[in-house]
Amino acid sequence: MDKAQIVKYLLDHDIQKVKFAFADIDGILRGKTIHRKKFIDGLDEGYGFCDVVFGWDSSDVIYDNAAVTGWHTGFPDRLCRIDLNTFRTIPWEQDLPFFLADFGTGDGGGLPVCPRTLLRRIEKECEDAGFHPEFSQEFEWFNFKESPDSLQDKDFNGLRPLSPGMFGYSILRPSQHSAFYHDVFDLLGRFDIILEGLHTETGPGVYEAAILHSKVLRSADKAVLFKSGVKEIASRHGIVASFMAKWNAELPGCSGHIHQSLWSSDQKKNLFYEAGASDRISELFRHYIAGQLYCLPHILPMFAPTVNSFKRLVEGTWAPTTLSWGYDNRTTALRALNGTEKSARLETRVPGSDCNPYLAMAAALASGLYGIKNKLSLEIQATKGNAYQEKDVQRLPSNLGAATEAMSNSTIASDLFGKAFVEHFTATRMWEWSQYEKQVSKWELKRYFEGI
């Protein structure tokens, strides 16, 4: 629907309010509900929005190391624009009209630290190179019979999972909570987020969903809205949904794997597939894999952005720990799927469900394109078997501090995303790490308080 059609829709249905939102640096949706008149008046010129949303962390604590905004700027309004192509209605809010926005100009310009603006620019670079980027993300998450109030009252201890036991791919468990299960599938579908599949994963109360693939920016939009939508639907069933990467050391973590392929500009040919090759993958696909492997140590925080992200990246937990790739191998960082032209793709397995989809997809696409542009050779051999046992393969940084330091000092990262974005993003990740380092954990108290 274009501008005129949307305005007509609002008037014809006597709709008085509209909701819009955008993703901050952590991938958290920030936004507001506005009156129809304000919405219509701002369609051409945009809307002012306080830029504190890029000056504070996920707990609304002001960064003390960010230059883009802060007390030193007075937190002015920045111009944001609603993307009319994102129009949908929220079925669990009486079909309230909803739009996504960003702090961009529509052509990739605008505020360089805005995640959606960054991905829009990378998508355009991909198209300018003659490729159509097709992406999708899948998520695992834990569900609890809790509320925001009970989480605080319990201090996050003794939480009740939606269902007990390890029941991966269970038919029984979803049927025991069928109202919630089917609302996730059906209501998200009406919200223009079509799921390819929804099932339980191994772990108490764990679900996994794969979102139908789309062009990269649209795919990231759907991934961001999926996480928010699941949380809102869950709340209406007395459930808290958590996309934390690793909430319990004894249980598996939650992934946010990214599937991707490059197609011809007319979308008729999968450029990752080559039927005549011995392994059915094209030279272009090999360059793309090589680019991701080469860039990964330089941009890891874009895939693993929190302290907790790295608690998931440990051996034997279905998450990667090394700079590795393999054919249909779920122990490697990159999993190449080469069965048919229709399905040939790369699965980047580093991201957890806590990632910002805009930044994770921007990182995947930009680094793959880097490999193509520079015709990087795929010198790392494909892993056969268990990647955890390959001791001579480079390991990923083990914590957010080390990964962020590597990114902040990397010319590769600045070449891919621009100096302004890298400086701001790494400053926010170092802030996150510094907040963690100040804390005294229960583990430390139990280990040292009395006996040391």
Instruction: Decide if pLDDT at 115 tops 90.
Output: yes
7: closest CA among 99, 137, 133? 99
Q: 97 with 144, same domain?
A: no
- What average pLDDT does the segment 216-233 reach? 98
Q: 326 with 291, same domain?
A: yes
Q: Does 390 map to a domain?
A: yes
Last residue of a domain, one of 86, 103, 120: 103
Instruction: Decide if pLDDT at 106 tops 80.
Output: no
382: closest CA among 372, 374, 390, 371? 390
Q: What is the DSSP string of 60-123?
A: SPBPSS-SSSSTTTT--EEEEEEEEEEEEEEGGGTTEEEEEEESB-SSS-B-TT-HHHHHHHHH
Q: pTM score > 0.85 for this model?
A: yes
Q: 290 with 184, same domain?
A: yes
Could you tell me the CATH number of the domain that includes residue 62? Answer: 3.10.20.70
Last residue of a domain, one of 70, 86, 103: 103
Q: What is the mean pLDDT of the chain?
A: 96
- What pLDDT sits at residue 274? 96
| DSSP 8-state assignment for residue 352 | B
User: How many residues make up the chain in this entry?
Assistant: 452
Q: Does 302 map to a domain?
A: yes
Instruction: Decide if pLDDT at 109 tops 80.
Output: no
Q: 164 with 295, same domain?
A: yes
Q: 272 with 334, same domain?
A: yes
- What average pLDDT does the segment 300-329 reach? 96
Extended beta strands in 276-350, E state = 325-327, 334-337, 345-348
Q: Does 349 map to a domain?
A: yes
- Give pLDDT tens digits for 155-180: 999 999 999 999 999 999 999 999 99
Q: 261 with 185, same domain?
A: yes
Sign of CA dihedral 240, 245, 249, 251: positive
Q: 154 with 27, same domain?
A: no
Q: Which residue reads 């459930």 in tokens?
A: 239
Instruction: Decide if pLDDT at 451 tops 70.
Output: yes
For residue 325, the one-letter residue type is W
Extended beta strands in 317-361, E state = 325-327, 334-337, 345-348
Instruction: Decide if pLDDT at 307 tops 80.
Output: yes
Q: Are 11 and 97 in contact (CB under 8 A)?
A: no
Last residue of a domain, one of 103, 119, 141: 103
Instruction: Decide if pLDDT at 108 tops 60.
Output: no
Instruction: Decide if pLDDT at 11 tops 70.
Output: yes
Q: Does 109 map to a domain?
A: no
| Least confident among 141-145, 343-347, 391-395 | 391-395
- Give pLDDT tens digits for 348-378: 999 999 999 999 999 999 999 999 999 999 9
Q: 309 with 430, same domain?
A: yes
- What average pLDDT does the segment 29-44 reach? 97
What's the total number of domains in the chain? 2
- What pLDDT sits at residue 234? 98
- What pLDDT sits at residue 316? 87
- Give pLDDT tens digits for 336-349: 999 999 999 999 99
* DSSP three-state, residue 297: helix
165: domain range? 128-443
135: closest CA among 193, 192, 220, 254? 220
Could you tell me the CATH number of the domain that includes residue 261? Answer: 3.30.590.10
- What pLDDT sits at residue 107? 59
| 22 phi/psi in degrees, rounded to 5 | -140, 165
